[in-house]
Amino acid sequence: MPRQTVTLRRSELYDRTWTQPARAVAGEIGVSDVAVAKACRKNGIPMPGRGYWRRKACGYNDPQVPLPKLVKGGDPWITFTASPRPAVPAAKVGPENELTDSVDEAIVVPAELGRRHRVVRATLASLRHQRRSPRTLLTTRYEDRFTASVSLESLDRVERILQALMTGFEARGYANTPGEPGHPLTIEVDTEPIQLAISERTKRVVHVPTEKEEVRQELNPGWEPPLYDVVATGSLAIRVINCPGPSQTSTIRDRAGHPLEERLGELFHLMKDAARRLKESREAEERRRKEWEEENRRREKERQQAELERARFRRMDKLVSHWQRKEALRRFLDVVRERMKVARPELVPSAQAWVAWAEAHLEDNHPEDALFLEPLLEHGSSAFWEYSDSYSSQWR
């Protein structure tokens, strides 16, 4: 089918993009929303920021960015080359449907709070209890509340953010469970426990001595006031504490033109990614544990086999020693018999008695017969322990 062109004035395109979402404008023209955004950037036309239409649907009146004038003046024409396609009705791409296209717009922080979640109440009560603390940031790390490190001035903002998160968690079926003593609250995402922390950035500024400090320094010249003060900046960030990997990949924070309230939807992406990483890390740890156990079993088997070989050798060595002594005794008896031939007659009977006993003993004891009568040593048998490494050091 032939392509068709659509021509709009720069001011007309500006009015359209601030009247309805970019997808609806693109549907009417017959191009993609990427083409509309590209044309706006090229011609210096400001567009609504992320979350604008969702916030407008919730009653917020965000200011509209005025259309800047061109250097050369005038109101030029902008031409789009469109393929014929049915226009997308504006009602189907309104703010309620835009929610499904961008997770970042799924969480709206209300300007006024109604009933607060139990966890939010506990967290804020813990923080406000420290309002007289001399520290710059108030902290809480109890097991039934969020981990937080924020200034007193940011408490109202933190409360609204945490309430919006708890509402989003419940809408997605994420259960929250108190951590063990000393551990923060956990949110269960895909059966994985996720721990969150909200914190505020600080900065150092040069300390200006107070009148009281100047008087103190005059009275005590050896005392010096601090060189710097630590002050809160009001810039908040939320981090997945227990996410494996660098913290930059598990943190969202305030950005210029995009406060944390508008980026809460990204947190759910981070939490699901953290759950995936935790699962992969646990599975990898389980594989390493099984490999370690298998390696230990292999080494133990090799050790037992080596110990069994040593025990069998010691048993054989003992039998050889007995056989060698028996052969030495036979040669000794031969020598005694030769001496009996030249010995005095009265001494022969005693020698004959010893020779007769020794011959009978040698006839009844054959060390080599043990190889026919004894089974081969096996690990753990009673005979094995007699020749094992732990039995005696005489064979080592």
- What pLDDT score was predicted for residue 102? 39
> Domain for residue 20, yes or no?
yes
- What pLDDT score was predicted for residue 63? 85
Provide the sign of the torsion angle of the four alpha carbons 348, 351, 357, 361, taken in this order: negative
> Domain for residue 236, yes or no?
yes
Q: Which domain holds residue 373?
A: 306-395
- What pLDDT score was predicted for residue 103? 40
Q: How many domains does the chain have?
A: 3
Q: Do 54 and 92 reside in the same domain of the chain?
A: yes
Q: Do 44 and 168 reside in the same domain of the chain?
A: no
Q: Do 249 and 326 reside in the same domain of the chain?
A: no
Q: Do 169 and 237 reside in the same domain of the chain?
A: yes
Q: What is the DSSP string of 69-120?
A: PPTT-S--EEEEEE---PPPPGGGGSHHHHHHH-GGGS----SS--SPPHHH
Domain boundary among 230, 256, 285: 285
Three-state SS at 291: helix
| Integer angstrom CA distances of residue 308 from 302, 305, 369, 387, 391 | 10, 5, 21, 9, 13
Q: Do 165 and 274 reside in the same domain of the chain?
A: yes
Q: Do 122 and 269 reside in the same domain of the chain?
A: yes
* pLDDT tens series, the chain, 396 aa: 456 788 888 899 999 999 988 888 888 888 888 888 888 888 889 888 877 887 777 667 788 888 888 877 788 888 888 765 444 444 343 433 333 333 434 577 877 778 889 889 989 998 988 877 778 899 986 667 888 999 999 999 999 999 999 988 888 888 887 766 666 788 898 888 898 999 999 999 998 888 998 889 889 988 888 889 889 999 999 999 888 877 777 899 998 888 988 888 888 888 999 999 999 999 999 999 999 999 999 999 999 999 999 999 999 999 999 999 999 999 999 999 999 999 898 999 999 999 999 999 888 888 888 888 888 888 888 888 888 876 554 444
- What pLDDT score was predicted for residue 238? 93
> Domain for residue 232, yes or no?
yes
> Domain for residue 298, yes or no?
no
- What pLDDT score was predicted for residue 202? 93
Q: What is the DSSP string of 207-250?
A: ----HHHHHHHHH-TT----SEEEEEEEEEEEEETT-SS-GGGG
> Domain for residue 51, yes or no?
yes
Three-state SS at 151: coil
Q: Do 90 and 198 reside in the same domain of the chain?
A: no
Smallest Cα–Cα separation from 146: which of 174, 129, 127? 127
Q: Do 160 and 201 reside in the same domain of the chain?
A: yes
- What pLDDT score was predicted for residue 31? 87
Domain boundary among 285, 320, 348: 285
> Domain for residue 106, yes or no?
no
49/81 Cα distance (integer angstroms):
26
Domain boundary among 255, 285, 315: 285
Q: Do 126 and 247 reside in the same domain of the chain?
A: yes
Length of the chain: 396
- What pLDDT score was predicted for residue 180? 61
Smallest Cα–Cα separation from 17: which of 38, 2, 238? 38
| Integer angstrom CA distances of residue 330 from 322, 333, 334, 356 | 12, 5, 6, 12
Q: Do 134 and 216 reside in the same domain of the chain?
A: yes
Q: Do 245 and 138 reside in the same domain of the chain?
A: yes
> Domain for residue 52, yes or no?
yes
Q: Do 322 and 357 reside in the same domain of the chain?
A: yes
Contact indicator for 164, 117 with CB cutoff of 8 Å:
no
> Domain for residue 299, yes or no?
no
Q: What are the pLDDT digits (tens) for 150-175?
A: 999 999 999 999 999 998 888 888 88
- What pLDDT score was predicted for residue 295? 96
73/48 Cα distance (integer angstroms):
23
- Give per-residue burial for 258-272: e unless 16+ CB within 10 Å, then b: bbbbbbbbbbbebbb
